[in-house]
Structure 1
Amino acid sequence: MINKENISYARLIVNLSNVLFKSTGISNYTKNVFPYLKSIAPILLSSEVHAGFESYLIPDNLTSEQGTKGHLNRLIWTQFQLPKIYRKLKSKLLFSPIPEAPLFSNCFSVVMVHDFIPLRFPKRFSPLTPYHLYYVPQVLNQSKHIICNSQSTAEDIVRFCHIPSNKITPILLAYDSNHFRPVIDERFNTRFPYFLYIGRHDPYKNISRLISAFANVPSNLECQLWLAGPSDNRYTPRLKEQIQELGLTNQVKFLDYVPYDDLPKIISGAIALVFPSLWEGFGLPVIEAMACGTPVITSNLSSLPEVAGDAAILIDPYNVAEITDAMQAIANDAGLRSHLSQLGLQRATQFSWEKTGKATVEVLKSFL
């Protein structure tokens, strides 16, 4: 830990002001990548001390735990306090795991971009729309370099921000191979085979079409559809109405939030993960399901083909009949399920946080 009487200097500082260190997407990325930065001896800007690293303590009211106020506090802190810390520590480079950095300052930065979904699927009155429309492009234009999580996201950066592609390095994400693996748990060895969806209930996740597709799967197959993910008062009630209208109340289960420890068990018990999202920056559930040996049905759009390769059934997420056909094929054909399971297990071995972390270090070293 650094105090005013004992100031260390670092060529690299890592901005962890937004990180909650619990199981959220960006926090998951950050906590898995930053251990690999030890070789370049960064100082972590964080509200807590991290073993094995030197930390510069910053306020603890800059995260989503404080809601909109937390985000606003962080943006103000980033603009006015972070440049002072950068100069105080005599830094050469700032690395941020989100696309945030001081504007109109002498701070050299490398930032990480996860997706542009708020611009592809804008929500009325959402602060994320102007944030991605005005602030993020300025950050990316002023940054020395940009890391992103897929070639698809790299193309969105070029499209929405007009950044030259040679300023962008896509580095695919990974999964916890010690956690996500085939697991047998009697609680999920149910009488009825079930398809599984994991994620939020936002419209771009395409759950409404998934439900419509499931309604067309022949009833003699006696399948269920389990929806794992937190309820959302904006969207979940309409999904429940749709299920009732289609007479699927007994076949579709809302699991709400599933604890991290239970995810491999519930994934392993499914006959397939169905993930027909209209757009993803990466799509972690796909690779996590493959690592559990569970067949995958997913979209042929955005980053999902990059993640799935040839180890999944790719469908047009706007075509309900295609989703139905894929689900019916999985339910009918044990040989197909076994084949996809083996392909998925092999595919998952190509992804590791070590590979992601080391590739990130190589980018950062080139600017130090």
Structure 2
Amino acid sequence: MRVHYDNIVFSLQKAGGISTYWSELITRLLRDEIDVSFDEFNHQNIVRSSFTIKADDITFSNNRTLLFERFKAMPLKNQNVPFVFHSSYHRITNNPNASQVTTVHDFVHEKFYKGIRRGLHLMQKKKVLKAADYVITVSENTKKDLLQFHPSIPEDRIKVIYNGVSTDFYPLTEQDKQYLPETGSRPYLLYIGSREHYKNFEFTIRLLRECPDFDLYIVGSPLLKKEINQLVQNIQGRWKHFNHITNFRLNQLYNMAFALIYPSNYEGFGIPLLEAMKAGTPFLALRNSSIPEVAGDAGVLVEAAEVGLFKDALNYISDNSATLKEKGFAQADKFSWENCYQQTLSVYKELSL
């Protein structure tokens, strides 16, 4: 079985859930010495820098062509025997020897965006779905969305394979917690990831304004000037921002947080929920999309992005933190990157028969 991976996602983002997903698959392919080769652009991706691929196994492309190459079919002329092609982000190959796999993580663009950005994304996704021999979705909810937006895709071509959670996340001992940097005596809520409009970051700031006993710790890309102004105007002196941090540092932040706040209107999966559960940290999130699949009966799911409902959720966490912690451990144990990898490998093997 020969496999070719398109690593374009590492150049499209510096960090994120798809980068994590892709790196977890790659490291296991390398571990198991699968016959795999790669295409890659230059990148500044944090996750990619954590492992090494032999230079002989990578074909590098110039970053100046990234904007155009991401929409073009890859010829892969050196692949002259049957192989499985899997792109990290919606690319296809026109090599006739390829069996093609694509992973659909969500339908954010279809649901929340307009204009050229939406149009280009939909065009690209439609092309890759048409070419795919198998489509992997990361949750049952994403599969449901896939069939809603692309009803012509045969259901037997769709495989639901859940994401996993890294072993980098675990409860720290009380002794470890005494020596953590940049943590004060005040409790804080931890916000992780994108701050696009559907993620409800502005709502999070409003909630913190009404909860003066809590600070807000933000992990993600550099803050925009508009976001900094909102933070200063509403919760001045009660927020900190962290960018380009390791999983080791992120685990520390999870461990010391009162709770993870995850008020997103839509998720294809929701890896931070699992990371919080593995670290023993309660979470509060909106009950929508794939979140109930990931959350199970752990954490607190809120019906709407309303300050009063989220304040009630914080009070519930305060009164039930030990129970939520144990439920989180049990729920997180249902997901693993090893399971994700083995199920994905089974797809490759089926196409290689």
TM-score w.r.t. structure 1 length?
0.81
1:6 corresponds to: none
The answer to whether structure 1 residue 136 and structure 2 residue 129 are counterparts is no
SS at match of 1:354: helix
Residue from 241, 251, 261 that aligns with 1:255: 241
d(CA) in 1 for partners of 2:230 and 2:15? 30
- CA deviations 1:253-307 (Å, max 9, x no partner) are 1414151131011110011001111111211111111111011111211111111
Summarize deviations over 1:326-360 as a string: whole Å, max 9, x none: 123334x2xx1111111112222222111111011
Partner of 1:366: helix, strand, or coil? helix
CA distance in 1 between partners of 2:243 and 2:115 (Å): 26
Instruction: Please say if residues 316 and 323 of structure 1, whose CA atoms lie closer than 8 Å, have aligned partners that are also in contact.
Output: no
TM-aligned CA deviation for residue 214 of structure 1: 2.8
Q: Distance in 2 between matches of 1:207 and 1:138?
A: 33
Pair 1:167 & 2:157 matched: yes
Distance in structure 2 (CA, Å) of the matches to 1:361 and 1:144? 14
Of 278-287 and 320-329, the range deviating more from structure 2: 320-329
Separation in 2, partners of 1:188, 1:303: 33
The reply to whether residue 158 of structure 1 matches residue 147 of structure 2 is: yes
Q: Sequence identity, in percent?
A: 27
Shift in alpha-carbon separation, 1:211–1:54, aligned structure 2, 3 A = closer
- Kept in 1, the 8 Å contact 2:262–2:284? The answer is yes
Mean Cα displacement is larger for which, 15-24 or 321-330?
A: 15-24
User: Is the aligned partner of 1:365 residue 2:344?
Assistant: no
Aligned partner of 1:350: which letter?
A: K
Aligned residues: 334
Q: Distance in 2 between matches of 1:360 and 1:244?
A: 45
Counterpart for residue 310 of structure 1: 297
- Counterparts of 1:319 and 1:203 in 2: how far apart (Å)? 16
| SS of aligned partner of 1:367 | helix
Q: Which residue number corresponds to residue 7 of structure 1? A: none
User: Does the CA-based 8 Å contact 1:148-1:168 persist in structure 2?
Assistant: yes
Corresponding position of 2:71: 75
Residues 234-245 of structure 1: pairs in structure 2 closer than 5 A: 237=226, 239-245=227-233
**What is the letter of the counterpart of residue 75 of structure 1?**
F
Distance 1:168 1:75, change over 3 A: same
- Aligned counterpart, 1:120: 111
The question of whether the paired residues in 2 share the 8 Å contact of 1:293 and 1:344 is answered with: yes
Aligned counterpart in structure 2 of residue 195 of structure 1, from 189, 201, 216:
189
SS in 2 for 1:12: strand
Q: Which residue of 2 aligns with 1:274?
A: 261
Deviation at 1:47, TM superposition (A): 4.6
Cα contact 2:16–2:193 (8 A) shared by 1: no
Secondary structure at 2:71's aligned position in 1? helix
CA contact (8 A) 1:46 1:55 kept: no
For residue 245 of structure 2, what is the amino acid of its counterpart?
P
Residues 192, 119 of structure 1: CA spacing in aligned structure 2 closer, same or farther, 3 A cutoff?
Answer: same
**What RMSD, in angstroms, separates the aligned Cα atoms of the two structures?**
2.8
CA shift, 1:313, in A, is 0.3
Cα deviation, 1:116-159, whole Å, max 9, x if unaligned, reads 21221115443xx2232112112112211111211121122212
Structure 1 letter corresponding to 2:39: S
For residues 303 and 54 of structure 1, the distance between their equivalents in structure 2, rounded to whole angstroms, comes to: 38
Q: How many angstroms apart in 2 are the aligned matches of 1:344 and 1:159? A: 31
3-state SS of 1:187 partner:
coil
8 Å CA contact 1:214, 1:327 repeated in 2: no
Q: CA deviation at 1:232?
A: 4.3
Give, in whole Å, the separation in 1 of the partners of 2:242 and 2:273. 19
Return the letter of the residue paired with 2:243. Y
Q: Give the secondary-structure state (helix, strand or coil) at the position aligned to 2:217.
A: strand
State the TM-score, normalized to the length of structure 2: 0.84
- Checking the alignment, whether the CA contact within 8 Å between 1:197 and 1:274 is kept in structure 2 is yes
What amino acid maps onto 2:288 in structure 1? L
How many Å separate the matches in 2 of 1:270 and 1:15?
A: 36
Counterpart of 1:107 in structure 2 is: 98
List gaps (5 residues or longer) in structure 2.
Answer: 42-50
Distance 2:180 2:346 in 1: 44
Query: How far apart, in 1, do the equivalents of 2:342 and 2:155 lie?
Result: 21
